[in-house]
Structure 1
Amino acid sequence: MVMNKQAATVCKRGYSCTMPGVWRAVSHNEGAVVIYHSPKACGHIGREMDLGMHFRSLVERQFCPEQYAAPLIISGLQAEHSVFGGAELLRKCIEYAARRYKPKYILIANSCVAGVIGDDTAAVASDAEADLRLPVMSVPCYGYLDGDYYTGFYHAGIKLAERFMTRQPKLSHTVTLLGDRGGPSGTDVQEFKRMFAYFGLIVHSHFPAFASLEDIKRVPCSAMTIPLSGTKMSYPWIRKLGMKLDELLSIPFFDGDDPTGWQATSGWLTELGRFLQQEQAAAVAVEMERTRLTRHIAECGPLLKGKKIVLCIGRPLTYFDPAWVLELISLYGIIVIGVAVLDEMLTKKQECNLRQELRQQKEIFCFSRSEGNAVLFEAADFVITTHELPDVRKKQLFLPLLPLAGVGGIITLMTKLVQLAQRHERRGGILYV
């Protein structure tokens, strides 16, 4: 009974720990230092995330060698601390971090071990701050016990806002982007900036990630905040962060859905125009983007029209919405001959919800990996998939976890598909977007 209850709880909120969310929130904030009050083994989470982001930026040619990387320090909880507590260990860790790195502030992420043994990390942080005369903050969540990645990300942002921000006069036409999405040089952020130009908006801050202490302090000058989320799992927390900043600092929050796919992008531009009371600018933006997309369809559509694909989905609806993929497939004249639901990646409930969503989207044939359908895979020209398939002979396009934003994202994805379609028919392999 206990195991069943725990499994249901995990599926509702996610499969990650709060500590990586805290780390990612400030990992590229100049002057920040992060402490994991945890056993040493927990440190590999942040390291693997940072390494993965490093390799992705290299592949996408977006690597910034001068980009600040916040030191990540592990307090090193051990078995004896479960009896005697780890408060003194944490205090020594804070003193070491302050002496070694001379940070502008220290943020403490608590592990589930620290929560179980009951360490009062907020009190330790407060005492250390008084002695060191340095901002030391403890995020009020503990590993897997009371949240996931986005919980930690949200609470880190709130800590920074409460500590460093004050109400200030607003600068017109300025925007603070809430979230990550690859940072200021990422393709998604560049696409947002391009769309902002229709309304005369300028991005002057990112929060809580990729922000120096000076950047954080000038967030309250923003005329508005706009979310960078991308999934149903992340958006409620980014929305909550935007609403909290509005409550604390009177920064209006644009509560708009993510511009993924054409219908969502045109709707996002229209809603942003209403929010800014620039309906005419929004109408112009929609027509300009429609023209841009139409031009690309005219160029690449003939190379894709009539191609047969199998769509493989192994992500739950909280992380993946098949609607935007099916929309793009339809726009470019591609034929879906079947959808393979990768049931080994999903719980029974997640699989049921996904099949129900697919039935609402389009009349398409669904089958599971366990059922198998070699005939459809053989007939397909290529496969669009959320997971790498073991058959490397088949041409595969790997869909990103975060769907690409705007018409620029559509063009990027469909150009990759054209490249895949033009490969020699006997050459398989995977292309990543």
Structure 2
Amino acid sequence: MALKTKWLLSKNCNASCTMTGVWRAAAYAKGCVVIFHSPLGCAHVASIMDLGSHYRIEADGSSLDGDPVPLISSHLREKDSIFGGIDRLHECIAYAVRVYHPECLIIASSCVAGVIGDDVDEEAARAEASYGIPVLSMPFSGFLGGEYSDGYYKTMEAMIRRFFRKNKHKEGTVLLLGDQMGPHGQYAREVKRLLSFFGLTVAYQFPGYVPFRDWGRVTEASLSVVLGTAGQPEGMKDMALLLEKDFDLPFLGDFYPLGLDKTVEWIRALASYLGEKEKGEALIRQEMARVRAQVASFLPVTEGKRAFLAIGRGTRWYHPAETIRSLKLLHMVPAGVILFSNLQEEDIRLFRQEISSMGDIPVMGEEEGQKALEDADLLLTTNEIYHTPVRQLFIPMVPLAGTEGELVFLRSIYRLLCRYGRKGGMTYVKV
């Protein structure tokens, strides 16, 4: 019998809306107001996404400073799809200006607005002339113009090109590029901690977390550091290259401190850029000593335990080598890898190739894996499996950052193995 899993889907690209990407690019940029020229339900989707982000941040034990900026829908109705909805947008802009007094308006257009042909750009230009504030029009027309990341990166690019200015760089200051649960999330906290070893301080995190009135000062930073993303790192790298080309703001490169090995690589790249290689090696020795000390306390429980991996997420999103290395740190046995049937043939080929480079680890399909799991102490999986007594640990979509992220992951495995009995269920990595 094949394994039964929850939410096992297969796709080669995202199936998300550009409008939510526009929203996230400005979500905590104080002074902005975002308008969705859309039916009311589109704004509801964005608010639900924001609520989910809030819960993830709470679970991470961190917080955000302040509330998100206002998000307003022009509330397109059925009759507007026949007669046009530009009057609704006109009224919505007037309401936003009257009630919220924004310093900048950002308008995202929906599929409906695109299909009926509303000229959002022209209405934005009129509003800017009438109210004397900048109005950015992002007329991607919802799903018609791409997906979430297209809306996010194109909005970010529009902000940079219009509002950024060349500034004299302040030595020792850093610009973080990306979201990753905000300035107080695990990723940003860990990157800040590692940067501080070299005397560097984060001045801004863009987009989404810099007030509008400070957008022109962002390039005062002396270095930009790209935060890693799940499956689509090129977009943010392109933004870093734009800042380097137009504003002489250098960036570290496409290095991301995700997992222990990549963290070491990231530290060495930063140290090399700063001309402080010896200091970088000292930091690496310090961080590795932390890991060894923590692992030593876990080994009485973890040593010799048999762990399986179950993968239903493509190579764009997940690389099992990082997880296998973590298991070996704990002296656990990577007893096998189960590849779910939703995976594309190319993903299966690449997974087999990557796994074989990590040793003689059996790779199997769902039916074979169902039987093999009877002998497992732990299952690390991208998708929850029903009707199994094996303890399950969800593999994060993006590995936690830095040494601290590795320690959190190892600690989660240790704690799960400490549980009494074999009752199955799913556990999540928690900071």
TM exceeding 0.5: yes
Q: Deviations over 1:100-144 (max 9, x none)?
A: 222221111222333333333222111111101122101253322
**Structure 2 Cα separation of the partners of residues 12 and 374 of structure 1:** 26
Structure 2 matches for 1:367-382, cutoff 5 A?
A: 367-369=364-366, 371-382=367-378
**Structure 1 Cα separation of the partners of residues 224 and 20 of structure 2:** 24
Contact conserved, 1:230 with 1:403, CA < 8 A, in 2?
A: no
**Structure 1 Cα separation of the partners of residues 415 and 23 of structure 2:** 36
Among candidates 275, 278, 288, match of residue 276 of structure 2:
278
1:354 equivalent in structure 2:
351
1:48 equivalent in structure 2:
48
Partner SS for 2:246? helix
Question: Residues 128 and 214 from structure 1, CA distance in 2 versus in 1: closer, same or farther, beyond 3 angstroms?
Answer: closer
**Structure 2 Cα separation of the partners of residues 299 and 106 of structure 1:** 54
Shift of 1:385: 1.1
2:327 equivalent in structure 1:
329
Shift of 1:238: 0.7
Higher relative contact order, structure no. (Cα contacts within 8 Å, ≥ 6 residues apart): 2
1:431 equivalent in structure 2:
427
2:58 equivalent in structure 1:
58
**Structure 1 Cα separation of the partners of residues 90 and 296 of structure 2:** 63
Shift of 1:392: 6.3
Q: Deviations over 1:306-365 (max 9, x none)?
A: 111111111111111222111111121111111111223x34444444344434444322
Structure 2 matches for 1:260-299, cutoff 5 A?
A: 260-299=258-297
RMSD: 2.0
**Structure 2 Cα separation of the partners of residues 392 and 74 of structure 1:** 45
**Structure 1 Cα separation of the partners of residues 353 and 85 of structure 2:** 49
Shift of 1:32: 1.8
Q: Deviations over 1:225-261 (max 9, x none)?
A: 101123232x101101111122222111211321122
**Structure 2 Cα separation of the partners of residues 217 and 128 of structure 1:** 22
1:416 equivalent in structure 2:
412
Question: Residues 384 and 408 from structure 1, CA distance in 2 versus in 1: closer, same or farther, beyond 3 angstroms?
Answer: same
Contact conserved, 2:291 with 2:403, CA < 8 A, in 1?
A: yes
Q: Deviations over 1:243-281 (max 9, x none)?
A: 112222211121132112222111111111122222222
Count of residue pairs brought into register by the alignment: 420
1:390 aligns with 2:383: no
Question: Residues 278 and 117 from structure 1, CA distance in 2 versus in 1: closer, same or farther, beyond 3 angstroms?
Answer: farther
1:5 equivalent in structure 2:
none
**Structure 1 Cα separation of the partners of residues 227 and 277 of structure 2:** 22
Shift of 1:77: 2.8
1:6 equivalent in structure 2:
none
Structure 1 stretch displaced more, 347-356 or 217-226: 347-356
Partner SS for 1:33? strand
Contact conserved, 1:29 with 1:68, CA < 8 A, in 2?
A: no
Structure 2 matches for 1:166-245, cutoff 5 A?
A: 166-233=165-232, 235-245=233-243
Question: Residues 420 and 257 from structure 1, CA distance in 2 versus in 1: closer, same or farther, beyond 3 angstroms?
Answer: same
Partner SS for 1:225? strand
Contact conserved, 2:60 with 2:186, CA < 8 A, in 1?
A: no
Contact conserved, 1:205 with 1:215, CA < 8 A, in 2?
A: no
Shift of 1:78: 3.6
Q: Deviations over 1:55-104 (max 9, x none)?
A: 2222232234x522112112223444444433222222111111122222
Q: Which letter does structure 1 place at the counterpart of 2:337?
A: V
Question: Residues 301 and 109 from structure 1, CA distance in 2 versus in 1: closer, same or farther, beyond 3 angstroms?
Answer: farther
1:252 aligns with 2:275: no
**Structure 1 Cα separation of the partners of residues 358 and 77 of structure 2:** 51
**Structure 2 Cα separation of the partners of residues 111 and 186 of structure 1:** 30
Among candidates 286, 289, 303, match of residue 301 of structure 2:
303
Q: Deviations over 1:143-199 (max 9, x none)?
A: 223322222111121222223221111000110100011111111111101110221
Partner SS for 2:270? helix
Contact conserved, 2:111 with 2:143, CA < 8 A, in 1?
A: yes
Question: Residues 283 and 334 from structure 1, CA distance in 2 versus in 1: closer, same or farther, beyond 3 angstroms?
Answer: same
Partner SS for 2:231? coil
Question: Residues 352 and 95 from structure 1, CA distance in 2 versus in 1: closer, same or farther, beyond 3 angstroms?
Answer: farther
**Structure 2 Cα separation of the partners of residues 379 and 329 of structure 1:** 17
Contact conserved, 1:140 with 1:155, CA < 8 A, in 2?
A: no
Question: Residues 390 and 59 from structure 1, CA distance in 2 versus in 1: closer, same or farther, beyond 3 angstroms?
Answer: same
Question: Residues 247 and 81 from structure 1, CA distance in 2 versus in 1: closer, same or farther, beyond 3 angstroms?
Answer: farther
2:160 equivalent in structure 1:
161
Q: Which letter does structure 1 place at the counterpart of 2:243?
A: L
**Structure 2 Cα separation of the partners of residues 358 and 291 of structure 1:** 27
Contact conserved, 2:378 with 2:390, CA < 8 A, in 1?
A: yes
Structure 1 stretch displaced more, 102-111 or 126-135: 102-111
Q: Which letter does structure 2 place at the counterpart of 1:386?
A: T
Partner SS for 2:171? coil
Structure 1 stretch displaced more, 379-388 or 135-144: 135-144
**Structure 2 Cα separation of the partners of residues 270 and 256 of structure 1:** 13
2:6 equivalent in structure 1:
none
Contact conserved, 1:256 with 1:268, CA < 8 A, in 2?
A: no
Q: Deviations over 1:393-415 (max 9, x none)?
A: 43111122121011110001111
Structure 2 matches for 1:1-40, cutoff 5 A?
A: 11-40=11-40
Partner SS for 1:223? strand
**Structure 1 Cα separation of the partners of residues 355 and 280 of structure 2:** 31
Structure 1 stretch displaced more, 123-132 or 278-287: 278-287
Q: Give ranges in structure 1 of 5+ residues lacking alignment.
A: 1-9
